[in-house]
Amino acid sequence: MIGAILDHPRSRIAGAWALAMGLSLAIFCAFVLALGKDPLAVIGATVRGAFGTPLGLSRTIGRSIPLLILSAGLIPAFRARFWNIGLNGCMLMGAVGATGVALYLPPWSPEATSVAMLAGAIIAGAAWALIPGILRLRFETPEIIVSLLLNYVAQRVVDYLVFSAWKNPAGRGFPGTANFDQKLWLARWDASKTVIPSWVPLPDGSFGVQAWFRAWGNSNVHAGLVVAIICVIAVWILMNRSAWGLRIDITGQGGRAARYLGLSTTRVILLVSVIGGGLAGIAGWSEVAGLNHRLEAGISQELGYTAILVVALGALRPGLTAVAAIGVAGLLVGGSQLQVQFSLPVAMAGVLLWAILYGVINAQNLADRRGRPGRRAPSLASPVPAGTQGG
């Protein structure tokens, strides 16, 4: 009985996560101790900075929006073993597509222009992601190298636009395009206007909770959060409730398995390329329309690379990946407290993130080795048919 429980895939994943977190925290604590600081105080300040204040929580949710979308786009690609690490470039091109529509499309109604911005972002991101997909299918070019190099090309394209071609002449020398029409901005949640209904059961009354909401002010939480949630749900349905999800996982088992079952790996590779690039384009749209309201050089903030860490933490499962995206966003936001309170570099948060990644990958590999054939949980090394796991 106990052996069966321990051998269950979910038990192995839970054990891998526990072991990974322990290893990661041990590595981080040793690093902090070497710098002469209290590890518990550092970790506590990071958590409070991300989730302990209205401002911190607002910034965490805002940062999690593009991470949710980007990581959702990586899941199908990695489950098919198409190692596209170029979502950073796709996000940049999506931001370019949305900006071009917003600034240079003939004036339509705000609603029609907003839809066109989203469509332009999806098309630009998907087209950029198709480049490594087509090159792999036509010339067997390694998609890791191509997609990585395309990130730098995309950044140079953005630099050219914000420093030259699309630079705002009234921007006082700062690189960036002109601001979008305010009617094209994504709506933000103004928590200060939130009113808790009298019928909501609150033991101590609603005054304290109401004051906490008002402390958020005009938060970083914008309508892109709804789009991000829809993207995560759509990917979950694709991978767990559709025939294409099964095709994607079978492709991940290798070309021989796909050919034996008569599946076209070409269609699968093109599909996951379009999904990943299109969702990355949506992430770029959410940043320029939701927060920045214009195109800037550092619009991606290297989140395309961070999304790789997120899907590793989520074991390529949409549900766990969504939780990991929020946690990683919190660490990125909370890391700013380390410099203020402990005179530590902000990059210390990155040390913790990559320590967690190292622990998770090694613990997941250990769990996979202990698993029986055919029941291995999806991971960066071993995708499985979609019907064998939940979200």
Cα–Cα dist 66/79, whole Å: 20
Least confidently predicted of 1-10, 87-96, 365-374: 1-10
Cα–Cα dist 74/193, whole Å: 37
Number of compact structural domains in the chain: 1
Domain range for 312 is: 2-187+223-388
Q: Given a cut of 70, is residue 140 above it in pLDDT? A: yes
> Residue range 310-336: average pLDDT?
88
Residue 207 lies in a domain: no
Residues 105 and 124: beta-carbon distance below 8 Å: no
pLDDT digits (tens, 9 = 90+) for 97-130: 999 999 998 888 899 999 999 999 999 999 999 9
- Return the biggest CA–CA distance within the chain: 72
Q: Which residues contact 306 (CB under 8 A, 6 or more apart)?
A: 67, 70, 328, 332, 353
Residue 205 lies in a domain: no
pLDDT confidence of residue 211: 63
Q: Given a cut of 60, is residue 232 above it in pLDDT? A: yes
Banded model confidence at residue 160, pLDDT cuts 50, 70, 90: very high
Banded model confidence at residue 235, pLDDT cuts 50, 70, 90: very high
Provide φ and ψ at 375, rounded to 5°. Answer: -125, 25
Residue 195 lies in a domain: no
* Most confidently modeled range among 27-31, 112-116, 248-252, 369-373: 112-116
* Most confidently modeled range among 51-55, 133-137, 376-380: 133-137
Least confidently predicted of 197-206, 301-310, 361-370: 197-206
What's the chain's average pLDDT?
Answer: 82
Residue 235 lies in a domain: yes
Residue predicted with more confidence, 102 or 262: 102
Cα–Cα dist 126/139, whole Å: 20
Banded model confidence at residue 183, pLDDT cuts 50, 70, 90: very high
Residue 200 lies in a domain: no
pLDDT digits (tens, 9 = 90+) for 141-158: 999 999 999 999 999 999
Tell me which amino acid residue 242 is. Answer: S
> Residue range 355-377: average pLDDT?
63
Banded model confidence at residue 172, pLDDT cuts 50, 70, 90: confident
Residue 212 lies in a domain: no
pLDDT confidence of residue 8: 56
pLDDT confidence of residue 381: 47
Q: Given a cut of 70, is residue 284 above it in pLDDT? A: yes
pLDDT digits (tens, 9 = 90+) for 1-47: 444 444 555 666 666 667 777 777 888 888 888 888 888 888 888 88
pLDDT confidence of residue 5: 43
Least confidently predicted of 178-182, 193-197, 221-225, 314-318: 193-197
pLDDT confidence of residue 390: 42
Three-state SS sequence of the chain: CHHHHHHCHHHHHHHHHHHHHHHHHHHHHHHHHHCCCCHHHHHHHHHHHHHCCHHHHHHHHHHHHHHHHHHHHHHHHHHCCCCCCCHHHHHHHHHHHHHHHHHHCCCCCHHHHHHHHHHHHHHHHHHHHHHHHHHHHHHCCCHHHHHHHHHHHHHHHHHHHHHHHCCCCCCCCCCCCCCCCHHHCCCEEEHHHCCCCCCCCCCCCCHHHHHHHHCCCEEEEECHHHHHHHHHHHHHHHHHCCHHHHHHHHHHCCHHHHHHCCCCHHHHHHHHHHHHHHHHHHHHHHHHHHHHCCCCCCCCCCHHHHHHHHHHHCCCCHHHHHHHHHHHHHHHHHCHHHHHHHCCCCCHHHHHHHHHHHHHHHHHHHHHHHCCCCCCCCCCCCCCCHHHCCC
Provide φ and ψ at 220, rounded to 5°. Answer: -85, 0
pLDDT confidence of residue 389: 41
Q: Given a cut of 70, is residue 286 above it in pLDDT? A: yes
pLDDT confidence of residue 383: 44
Burial of residue 373 (CB within 10 Å: 0-12, 13-18, 19+) is: exposed
Tell me which amino acid residue 276 is. Answer: G
Give the CATH number of the domain where residue 174 resides.
Answer: 1.10.3470
Residue 329 lies in a domain: yes
Cα–Cα dist 362/360, whole Å: 6
Residue 210 lies in a domain: no
